[in-house]
Amino acid sequence: MKPPTTTASGEDSLIARYFRPIASDPGAFGLTDDAAILKSMSDDIVVTTDALVEGVHFLPDDPPDTVAQKALRVNLSDLAAKGATPAGFVLTLALRAADDAWLADFARGLGADAGRFACPLLGGDTVSTPGPLMASITAFGRITPGKMIHRSGAHAGDRVVVTGTIGDAALGLDILRGGGVAAIFEGDAAASLTLVQRYRVPEPRTALAQVLRDHAHAAMDVSDGLAGDLVKLCAASGVSAVIDVPAVPLSQPAARALSAGAVSLEALMSGGDDYEILCAIPDEGFEAFAQAAAAAGVTVSCIGAMIAATSPPQFLDAQGRNLPLGRLSFSHF
Amino acid sequence: MKPPTTTASGEDSLIARYFRPIASDPGAFGLTDDAAILKSMSDDIVVTTDALVEGVHFLPDDPPDTVAQKALRVNLSDLAAKGATPAGFVLTLALRAADDAWLADFARGLGADAGRFACPLLGGDTVSTPGPLMASITAFGRITPGKMIHRSGAHAGDRVVVTGTIGDAALGLDILRGGGVAAIFEGDAAASLTLVQRYRVPEPRTALAQVLRDHAHAAMDVSDGLAGDLVKLCAASGVSAVIDVPAVPLSQPAARALSAGAVSLEALMSGGDDYEILCAIPDEGFEAFAQAAAAAGVTVSCIGAMIAATSPPQFLDAQGRNLPLGRLSFSHF
């Protein structure tokens, strides 16, 4: 009733060839068992799961190593926002066929990032699908019991802070899709590549986890657009916010695309895929936070303040006028 | 660049409507945060992940509650085989569209089993896909540090033991696909339904976890066919086995289908989806194991012995003749 196979099945040899070499953690048992062991060391285990679907979260011709990196990094981004230290991950890969060249590149990217972020591959499952490729990762972090940073801890008066720059990934996606942004960067391949790379390989703020544990009242990663994710953080915390839109940090290419009229502020602030961290920092602790972040090598920008209100966050332009945002974020359904 | 959404996105409201009510564990934070907390309580955390793809692991018209149950149970089966006590799980669901009736049934089945097996939903991700539905679950179990049961611990002289009955799920799948088995059970809807149910809703041997911890040298669950999975266990343990095929436990309907010639022994032993447990029990401990299993409500059958050899396991018929199995198990690639 099922296709015949020989003793060493294709699935097993696929795992052995591509994933066993990067599953060096003792808890992975060389991917030869039915389960892995995560040593708890009495910490709380922070668990997060995020999946990438071909054509939705990455493009069919994105390089396979970047697909693997993105699949892991979007999960590392969640762990960082929660203040957790990476501990390991499992991968479910749904494939149409076992394409050796694709898998070799995918595993290379995955192994490099597992090493770089000290987050070992512990196990996984490979399944066949007639549909789009899908990589689903569940990642684990460790944290002192009770110390996970929630979305819900922001207080009125806290500063609203974001890491890095916002909107680059949305511009990168537009370029890859042949949108209007590409024309702005004709003859400037470096800028174009920077934006594309921000879409394909986000930079998880793992280095900021300890700093957030020490200073943040609330945090989340910006995956579905800054504006929409701020709405979620405010709702969870029972506060509102006033955002000084000109203070939202833009990269040099993003500022250029904006001033050329190739993209709206709205698109930058709702575009998604930034994988920066949005957090609420108590006003009196902001200087110490900013110094610790700088020491960790992460740029942070104060973009507004939390206020005591139940109304939606306000986004103010340079003249203090309310900037209505028609759309706030990306949603699957 | 992405479809516009309003403040309360469809994805968030889908999660709120269907999954929040069943995510009652405090570590799930009502599914309103970016991550969950699994309290380790100083145990080792056993991690396993298994995905179901529509058309591959379940049929498009399988009832949604049974799809959810199967998705969780195939993971609970792995935890049981490793001797671990269920602690929680995360779910990634890839959907073509948010079909309310389907989701309501799916969540109902998931919630019922999460309660029944004391394995709470901790978090998840819902993504859209143009392809087949997919439910990927990563499940966690707890076990005393160092006590996980491996595939690799079998010794020559150990008894080869299997729980329950073998081959029913393969027959159930054949019936659902309109194969030749259905004719055997015309006029016996109960037998037919039993087999179909064994395919759709396997019974994880959670009750046996403690017994395995106390008695088994090695264990794994039988998901890809008894014959092929035995080959894997033997290879991991560096032993071989001699199996007394007539001792392989068959249900009454399976025995009937076999004697009617509607199915071969080979198909029963390589069919997959049994989700029984295959284990190696030291000969001197077998009686105590069998008694403890009976007390836990799980039927166990001794089907052969492990031997010191590097050759593939032998499957002997009632006359002691080698029964060559052309195919051993199911593989995705």
Walk me through the domains of chain B, giving residue ranges and CATH numbers. Answer: 10-143 (3.30.1330.10), 151-316 (3.90.650.10)
Residue B93 reports pLDDT greater than 70 = yes
pLDDT band for position A14 (50/70/90)? confident
For residue B201, the model assigns a pLDDT of 97
Chain segment B268-299, per-residue pLDDT in tens: 999 889 999 999 999 999 999 999 999 999 99
Locate the DSSP E strands across B164-316. Answer: 218-222, 240-244, 276-281, 300-307, 314-316
Instruction: Write the secondary structure of A287-313 as one string of H (helix), E (strand) and C (coil).
Output: HHHHHHHHHCCCCEEEEEEEECCCCCC
- Distance between CA atoms of A120 and A200, rounded to whole angstroms? 21
- Residue B150 contacts by C-beta under 8 Å, 6 or more apart in sequence? A29, A33, B82, B218, B236
pLDDT band for position B151 (50/70/90)? very high
Distance from the Cα of residue B269 to its chain's centroid: 15
For residue B2, the model assigns a pLDDT of 37
Q: Do B48 and A123 touch (CB under 8 A)?
A: yes
Contacts of A177 in chain B (CB under 8 A): 1
Q: Do A94 and B134 touch (CB under 8 A)?
A: yes
Q: Do B37 and A56 touch (CB under 8 A)?
A: no
Give me chain B's average pLDDT, please. Answer: 93
A268 interfaces chain B, CB cutoff of 8 Å: no
A174 interfaces chain B, CB cutoff of 8 Å: yes
Chain segment A255-312, per-residue pLDDT in tens: 999 999 999 988 999 988 999 999 999 999 999 999 999 999 999 999 999 999 999 9
What integer is the mean pLDDT of A33-54? 94
Count H helices and E strands in chain B, helices first: 11, 11
Residue B255 reports pLDDT greater than 60 = yes
Task: Give the best residue of B20, B47, B53 to mutate against chain A (max A CB count within 10 A).
Answer: B47
For residue B333, the model assigns a pLDDT of 53
| Among B residues 75-114, those touching chain A with beta carbons less than 8 Å apart | 78-79, 81-82, 84, 88, 90-92, 94-95, 97-98
Q: Do A35 and B46 touch (CB under 8 A)?
A: yes
Please, what is the Cα angle at A167 between A165 and A172, to 5 degrees?
115
Give me chain A's average pLDDT, please. Answer: 93
Chain segment A78-121, per-residue pLDDT in tens: 999 999 999 999 999 999 987 899 999 999 999 999 999 999 99
B21 interfaces chain A, CB cutoff of 8 Å: no
Task: Give the best residue of A49, A148, A151 to mutate against chain B (max B CB count within 10 A).
Answer: A49
For residue A3, the model assigns a pLDDT of 35
Q: Do B333 and A14 touch (CB under 8 A)?
A: yes
DSSP structural state of residue A158: P
For residue B1, the model assigns a pLDDT of 33
B234 interfaces chain A, CB cutoff of 8 Å: no
What integer is the mean pLDDT of A16-41? 92
List, as one string, the DSSP characters of B232-246. Answer: HHHHHHT-EEEEEGG
Angle between helices A252-259 and A189-200 (to 10 degrees): 110
pTM (2 d.p.):
0.93
Q: Do B127 and A57 touch (CB under 8 A)?
A: yes
Tokens describing residue A262: 């190739």
Q: Provide φ and ψ at A327, rounded to 5°.
A: -125, 150
pLDDT band for position B266 (50/70/90)? confident
Residue A329 reports pLDDT greater than 80 = no
Strand order in the sheet with B44-53: A36-39, B44-53, B134-143, B85-95, B121-128
For residue A231, the model assigns a pLDDT of 96
Helix, coil or strand: residue A207:
helix
- Distance between CA atoms of B235 and B241, rounded to whole angstroms? 10
Q: Do B1 and A328 touch (CB under 8 A)?
A: no
Angle between helices B189-200 and B168-176 (to 10 degrees): 110
b/e B247-258 (16+ beta carbons within 10 angstroms → b): ebbbbebbebbb
For residue B172, the model assigns a pLDDT of 96
Residue B34 reports pLDDT greater than 80 = yes
For residue B3, the model assigns a pLDDT of 35
Chain segment B192-223, per-residue pLDDT in tens: 999 999 999 999 999 999 999 999 999 999 99
Distance from the Cα of residue A320 to its chain's centroid: 31
A39 interfaces chain B, CB cutoff of 8 Å: yes
For residue B252, the model assigns a pLDDT of 96
- The percent of residues in chain A predicted with pLDDT above 90, rounded, is 86
More confident residue, A291 or A329: A291
Helix, coil or strand: residue B51:
strand
**Half-sphere CA count of B231, side-chain side, radius 13 A:** 22
Tell me the CA distances in angstroms from A225 to A4, A231, A260, B86, one per residue in order.
47, 10, 22, 36
B326 interfaces chain A, CB cutoff of 8 Å: yes
Chain segment A146-175, per-residue pLDDT in tens: 999 999 999 999 999 999 999 999 999 999
- Distance between CA atoms of A84 and B228, rounded to whole angstroms? 40
* Distance in Å, alpha carbon of A116 to nearest chain B alpha carbon: 22
- The percent of residues in chain B predicted with pLDDT above 90, rounded, is 86
For residue B331, the model assigns a pLDDT of 55
Q: Among candidates A125, A306, A320, which has minimal Cα distance to A230?
A: A306
What integer is the mean pLDDT of B93-108? 92
Contact indicator for B92, B289 with CB cutoff of 8 Å: no
Is this complex's ipTM strictly greater than 0.85? yes
Q: Do A92 and B130 touch (CB under 8 A)?
A: no
For residue B81, the model assigns a pLDDT of 98
Q: Do B34 and A78 touch (CB under 8 A)?
A: yes
